[in-house]
Structure 1
Amino acid sequence: MSPASPLPLLIAVLVCGWVAALLVRSRQRARRRTPPDFTAMACTSTNDGIVVQTLDGIILWANPAYLRLMRLPMDRVVGRNPLSFCLPDADRMTRAQIAGFRYDPDDPAWRKLVVVRNRRSDGSLFWNQLNASFHLASDGRTLATLVCRDVSEQVEQDRILRDTTATLAHLATHDSLTGTANRAHLSTFVADRMALAPAIRPGLGLLHIDMDGFKAINDRHGHAAGDAALKHVARTIGHHLRPTDLLARVGGDEFVAVCTDVACDAELLGIGQTLCDAVRTPFRHDRMELALSVSVGAVRAGPDDADTDRLLQKSDFALYAVKRAGRGAVAVYDSALHAEAQSRDLFAAQLQHCIADGGLTFYMQPTVDLVTGHVRGFEALARWQHPTRGLLHPATFLPLARELNLLAGVDLAAIDAAADLHARLRATGHDGIRVSINGSHVLLSDRAHAERLPARLSARGLKPQDIHIELAERDVFGSVDPGAHRFMGISHLVGLGFNVLIDGFGAGYAGLLHVDRLAVAGFKVEKALIRHLAAAPACEKITAMLLQFGRDKDLYCTASGIETAEQAAIVRSLGGSVGQGNHFARAMPAEDVIGWLRARSSCQELRHTG
């Protein structure tokens, strides 16, 4: 038998190969003609979980992201209602409740994003953001498509932000040590009630409360005992006030209680006496029993009392009468005290003449580099050499000058004094030392007044850049409605060429966001924070936060009110670089500055030589 010819087999192989090639090319052409299934691609690759459900909640299909989100395989999801496996134990529903569930496509609630607490198969909890939509399927059924997203991180961030905002809001309106309201909150509280018409204004009574012998407690038993005393007084007084009343700490050892619906002076006197009696009860601190007393000056708002400052002034008059009589009692502002107020009017007239005649003088207090000890600048501080009362500090007369609208004259006197010192420093080779003044709120509201300052500097051969202007935080942010004109006033000063600093930053009127919006060159940390650095951890934390904020924003920061080496060391450890206060030098007459600098330089040289 002859061997079979290979030709038929070869032909068969060639035909099969040709047919296969045709099939491959046909499939390739078909794929090119058929577009990709983008819907399937998106559903399977997205990080959001997607489930398709019947209107009674039964899952017909779930994408891989949903299975990862719930940590379940497909066979444990399809055919089930998510309510049967995704709810936390506290929210778990009965079988009857789950069976009764049904989507209502017409319910507008399903058109909004909903965030719910869900539970994974491993028991872990997360926040699930749900977005439902409804579609008509090819078989005529209406189906629900649910998009699920794990938003736990965002929810936690929102919670932290809310808590932080609430904490900052509380810090802005409350005293960190005693928990009472601060001066800003007090002003708002009283102003809101004083804004009512006299005929319908509820009887408003103010009690200005001053702790007797507080300094002695601090000196004898330490700052911790002083803080305990402050807390005791705040707690005791707060316990005897009504929920509608307000207690605020307005100074180191001073409180103001505001009582509403006070019918007469006798009732207010009785409230004050109750507070005095309650505070006298001794309290224990560090195994010691300490006794306290308070002096109270009271006033009830009358129909002619139009503002908070007037009430506080009257209560202060009454408090002064108590102190003069021996402390530990209550006095209500009356006609006798009114007569004393007349002597105050005489004082006001004398102040008016002093400012008009250029009679103010200015003492200079240095700011010091906390690392090198070099003098960085001087601040011009107003003084009044009164004809009968001697040298008066600004706290004695500037509040009155403000009330009498005399602060513009103080600004002009301050800029003249600062310019004179700057010229003297420059003439003696101290070019790098800056000079600053305390500007008044008038500079923020009166553009024409602000523009007088550069002209006075120019007359002395100086530019606005040579002088820094410090504006009190309360003047920029402290009113009930500060308004945009205050911020525009700062921009105007900066536009004129001045470097502007916020003085008393951290007193509770401003937030960090406020300062970040302003074109200020820096700020001075509130003295009260520095004063309590060693004894109040909250003050240390706030100071550290403020200094860090200054470094982050490249702002010139000064810690003011440093009285001890311990405070200076703490500020330095917190990253502070510039300090000011009596620890370094008390304010001195301007004519003594150059001599003081020379003496200081000589002492430093001797120390280095030694």
Structure 2
Amino acid sequence: GAVLAGQLLFWAVLAAFVIAALLWMRMARRILDSIRGSEERYRLLFDSAADAIVMVDEASGRILDANRMASAWTGRNAGDLIGDRFDQLFMRTVSHLTDRPDSNTLLDAAGGIRPVETQSSLATWADKPVRQAIIRDITERVEMEQERRIAAEALSSIAEGVIIADADRLVVSTNAAHAEITGFSAQDLHDRRLDDTRSLPDGSPMPQAIWDDIAAGHNWLGEVLSTRRDGTSYPEHLSISAIRDAENQVLYYVAVFTNIFASKVNQRRLEYLARHDPLTGLVNRAEFERQCDEAFVGVGRDRQAAAVLFIDMDAFKLVNDSYSHAIGDRVLVRVGERIQRQLSGTDVAGRIGGDEFTVLIGRINLREDAIAVARRLLAALSEPFMVDEYEIVMSASIGIAGYPLDGDTAVTLIANADAAMYVAKTEERNTFRLYTPLMHANTSRRLLLATELRHALANDQLRLVYQPSVELRTGRIVAVEALLRWRHPERGEVMPVEFIPVAESLGLIRRIDEWVLKTACAQIEAWDKAGVPPIRVAVNVSARWFGHPAFVEGLERVLQSRQLSGSRLMLEITEGAMLKLGDETERTMRALHALGIEVAIDDFGTGYSSMAYLKLPAVSYLKIDRSFVTGLPASANDVAIAKAMLAMAKSLGLSTIAEGIETEGQHDFLLREGCIEGQGYLYAYPIEAAEIKLLLCPVHPHVPSKLRLVPPRRS
């Protein structure tokens, strides 16, 4: 029984051992499967992580393992990385790994770089301290930070002020320009709304409608009045927009503003210059017309009258030519000042061009009430002007037109006052005239004449006639004077006295002078070719052409083109033309003398009677004006003047030519007193070039040797 019991016990123990072994093996297998699964899960997590993970030996700093992301970012497989030093992966040396995040630059095998942030934790790996380093790509964060930095720098450096406010319009931040413009720092505006220091230009608060419009998705742009920290205010150009969240709710308001004080000052200045004459400060034509039309509305409503005065300075061009344009400008400034001093506070003075001024006199009973103002203006403008060391004496001519009698618009009244001024200047000067409809007809005729004169130049309607100048002692024709005529297709012959002033006002006189010279020289050449005995041809020269810089050069060119000697030509120049040339007179005269051209002083004694001009080179003749010949020999005054002129010319070695001789008595007196030549109806009227040829050409035996006198007209 004991053996059996022992066997049973043995087999029982053996069975238990076998069962236990089986159970242990099964448990071990489960444990190994569990460990293997954990490792696979770990490797799966390790390799699928979005960041690079590197296991580093704490003692040596060498890499023990690296995940797939680390391989991808460095361009090296895990086998190549294992055993390499961890700090060699980066641009900046990693002195030691810490638990805190650290920024660095990861290098790849191709030389590329990647901004990263590293963070590590210490772990035990098979009883060995190991650092698990996590490397995170921060490229997007770095780019965003750079963009924010650039935006911040741009915001701080722009000249415009910028305010960022929250949804309640409370100021959150401002830029440097804001503080510079307003004096407020961001701290000064803490808990204050951005519109607390701003109002509309009229001083009223910014309305809620502005903010409602912005909340509705629009931007607001406008002008406001902003208050500085020191309490002063300035005009501001303000733009407000909103930053919204995903649900379109306002998160922030962004206000950008500019101080527009300087630009508004410039704008007001430009507006002033657009309405005023820059020289005198008076209103210009456009503004004068606007104020006139505005005044006429009120005057018409109250059944009153108004008047427009047109003021033109007499002979102002002489001031420019004699002294300089700079002096002339200063005179015009003084003229404007004197005009304003004669006006009341409601009257308006304007300068509409050159030496032309206008005055609006409002709220009078009759047009004639403006006469008193016109008389004051004439008196004020006739007083001497002192400019530097010069004393300049001038006068003015004034035309007056009334509202509503003479017109109901500014343009009409200015035109009518201008017509009245022209009559005042033509008839008398230093006076005024009230407008009448006849004046406008004359003005219209002048304008029509101007248009027709341009056509005359273009269509060869001008012609020359020639008036002989005879030697008083023998009656022999020694010269002719070329006289201009206009053969009008409808009105017949138009005399120079009618169209020359129009030509001068239009600037056409130089073209006419050049035409006369070329035509006269062509006629001299034609007479020479026809065998006509050579005679002197006199041509009148206007002040404008005589004073032109190209005058002498043009004269020489015309003579050369016709192969004529300068001695065949004589220029008749008035004293006024010489005076306008000023300091250049002597140079021009010497140039004419060098060409062999003689000069006659025309109308001597009627103007300035300056003896200095009689001594200039080229001056060889003195013409006695017809006004001193008409009364000879009966008028004692004319006798005395004529004798004095003839005696002076003789003493200076000048030849004399008397104009307007119509009687034998005039002829005999002038011959007796020593006058050399004469012109007038007593000898011949102005005649065509062909008739001059008949008078002078010796091949026509039927022509008497002595010129037949034309009897004087008798009343």
Q: What is the TM-score when the length of structure 1 is the normalising length?
A: 0.47
Q: What is the TM-score when the length of structure 2 is the normalising length?
A: 0.40
